Structure 1
C-alpha cells in the first residue's frame, strides 16, 4: 500500500517560472531489458535460473521484438531472481501509482503498539523533512533520509490499518 501525492506542474509553478528537471522513469519494456541485461553473469545466467534458453530470454526482453513477449509469471520470476524491481516500478508509474516495499509488522497485532509505532515513524519523518528543508539545497543523503522515513511511515500506517481492521466485529451470518 502506498501514498501518492501528485501536483501538476501548472499548479506548482507560476506561468513565468521554469519547471524543474523531472527525470522520466523507464518504460516497462526498457526496464525488462535492463533487468535481463544487467543481471550478474548476463542474460545466460538469468536464463538458466529462469529455465529457458538464453536466446529466448534475449528475444523476450528486446523492446523492439514484436514476436516474443515476457509473460506475467516470467516478469515476476525475473524480478524475484534478480532482486531488480524496475519492471514493477515502471508498471506502477505507467498506471499512476508508486510501489513501497512491505515491511514486517512490529506491533504483533497490539493496537496500542501499532499506534505508537506509527506516531514514532511520523515524528522521524517530520524530523527528516525539517532537516532537509533547513538546507538551501538538500543533499542526496538528506533526500534519501526523507525517502526512507516516508517509506517507514507508509508501512507503519498500513500495519496500523490492518490491526484496526482485524479488530472489527465479524458481520452476522444471514
Structure 2
C-alpha cells in the first residue's frame, strides 16, 4: 500500500522558505485577502474549488467591502482547500490565543510511553533551540524547526495530561 503526503510550499523547509502563515500584525480581513489572492491559480481557481462565483469570492475577500462577508463554513473550506491557515491564526491572535496542529496520540494510553514521548519531544525542542542560539542570526529554517518542535512538544504534553486525566480516580457522584 502506498501513501502520498502533500505539503503546501509555504510549509516546506529550505533556504528560500516562505514566510509563516501569519506575519506579525496580520488582521483577519487581510489574512482572508492574502489566502484568496495567494492561491495557486488565483481567485478563479479557489472559487471553483469552493463552488462559489469568482466575483463573489473577490468581493468577500476585499477588506474594504462592507456588504459581502465570508460565512464561517466558507472560511473553513477556504483554508482546508488552500492549505493556508492564516485566517485561523489571525483569529486566534486577535483573541490572545495561538493554534497548534492536532497530532494523534501515539502512546495508546500507556502512561510510561506517553511520558517517554513527551520527554523525547522536550529534548528535540531543546536541541533545536540550542542549535538556533549557536549562531548570531538563525536562519528561517532554524526558526521554523524550533517552531515545529515547540508545536510537537505542546501536543505531546497535551497527550500526557489527557492520559493522566483518564487515570484519575472518579470523584464521589461521578463529578471530576
Bin of the TM-score, shorter chain as denominator length: 0.7 to 0.9
The alignment's TM-score, normalised by the length of structure 2, stands at 0.79
Work out the CA distance in 2 between the residues paired with 1:148 and 1:68: 36
Q: For 1:14-53, what aligned pairs fall within 5 Å after superposition?
A: 24-53=24-53
Work out the CA distance in 2 between the residues paired with 1:98 and 1:46: 26
SS at match of 1:106: coil
Larger RCO: 1 or 2 (CA < 8 Å, sep 6+): 1
What's the CA shift string for 1:7-55, capped at 9, x where partnerless?
Answer: xxxxxxxxxxxxxxxx633110011011111112221221122222111
Work out the CA distance in 2 between the residues paired with 1:51 and 1:144: 34
The alignment's TM-score, normalised by the length of structure 1, stands at 0.80
Q: Which 5+ residue runs of structure 2 have no aligned equivalent?
A: 1-22
Which deviates more from structure 2 when the two are superposed, residues 37-46 or residues 65-74? 37-46
Work out the CA distance in 2 between the residues paired with 1:116 and 1:161: 13
Q: For 1:107-126, what aligned pairs fall within 5 Å after superposition?
A: 107-126=107-126
Work out the CA distance in 1 between the residues paired with 2:142 and 2:66: 43
Residue 170 of structure 1: how far off its partner (Å): 3.7
Q: 1:131 to 1:36 in 2, by over 3 A?
A: same
Q: Which 5+ residue runs of structure 1 have no aligned equivalent?
A: 1-22
SS at match of 1:105: coil
Give RMSD over aligned pairs: 1.7
1:158 matched to 2:154? no
Work out the CA distance in 2 between the residues paired with 1:126 and 1:57: 43
Tell me what 2:93 maps to.
Answer: 93
Equivalent residues, number = 152
Q: Specify the structure having the higher radius of gyration (Cα).
A: 1
Tell me what 2:137 maps to.
Answer: 137
Residue 173 of structure 1: how far off its partner (Å): 4.8
Work out the CA distance in 1 between the residues paired with 2:30 and 2:174: 50
Q: 1:41 to 1:99 in 2, by over 3 A?
A: same
